[in-house]
Amino acid sequence: MPHAPDQDARAKGVNPPSTETFENQILSLVPSLRRYSRSLAKSDSDGEDLLQDCVEKVLVRRGQWRGVNLRAWAFTIMTNLYRDRHRHVSQHPSVEFDETLGLTADDVSGDPLEKTRLQKALNALSPDHRSVLMLVVVEGYGYQDVADMLAIPIGTVMSRLSRARRQMAAHLAENNIVTLRRPK
């Protein structure tokens, strides 16, 4: 499978892990965990919160790690946390997060309206569809890897990916862009 998770080699045969190794490995995973958390979240602060919860849980549960593929294990934990949070929030559907707060100074290079548009389309996806889309597209995992991480059949991965892509396409088509040569 392409995109083999990068922690396998170092991680194999290290069970139980020494504190130093384990924490350094977690540290090296933080950037990609941050990217994944942000891709699931509705704002930067929401994403950072999810990241903190995830790292905390990984540390607390370190005894349960089987010593193989720490990255995939951490991604699974993050996905579950995200799903649980979403369930909690959606019990109160009238409470909406603010998409515009996701536009921080980090990405002034991008077009903020474009980002809001994308964020809205993503927020319309269910957590199950969104996590599969992000694991494949942004994190570069193969379909079987995703199936293993989420403990679902590969057919389910494919149907979620398909649904996510079509729903995104439909949503993005609704609010269209006119890219003009601006008249000034």
Q: Hey, which residues between 104 and 123 contact another protein (CB under 8 A)?
A: 105-108, 110-118, 120
Cβ(37)–Cβ(135) under 8 Å?
Answer: no
| Residue 7 makes contact with another protein by CB under 8 A | no
Q: Which residues contact 97 (CB under 8 A, 6 or more apart)?
A: 42, 43, 46, 123
Q: Which stretch binds another protein (CB under 8 A): 8-16, 20-28, 72-80?
A: 20-28
Give CA–CA dist 166/183, Å, rounded.
34
Q: Which stretch binds another protein (CB under 8 A): 6-14, 32-40, 64-72?
A: 32-40
| Residue 56 makes contact with another protein by CB under 8 A | yes
Total number of residues binding another protein (CB under 8 A)? 76
The candidate with the shortest Cα–Cα distance to 37, out of 97, 87, 77, 7, is: 77
Q: Which stretch binds another protein (CB under 8 A): 10-18, 31-39, 71-79?
A: 31-39
CB of 96 to another protein, least distance (A): 5
Q: Element (H or E) spanning 182, and its range?
A: none
| Residue 178 makes contact with another protein by CB under 8 A | yes
Contacts to another protein from residues 131-160, by CB under 8 A: 133-134, 136-138, 142-143, 158
Q: At 184, list the tokens.
A: 């000034």
Cis peptide before 16 (omega within 30 of 0): yes
Q: Which residues contact 175 (CB under 8 A, 6 or more apart)?
A: 117, 120
18 versus 94: smaller Cβ distance to another protein: 94
CB of 38 to another protein, least distance (A): 4
Contacts to another protein from residues 77-96, by CB under 8 A: 88-89, 91-92, 94-96
Cβ(163)–Cβ(145) under 8 Å?
Answer: no
Q: Element (H or E) spanning 63, and its range?
A: none
CB of 79 to another protein, least distance (A): 15
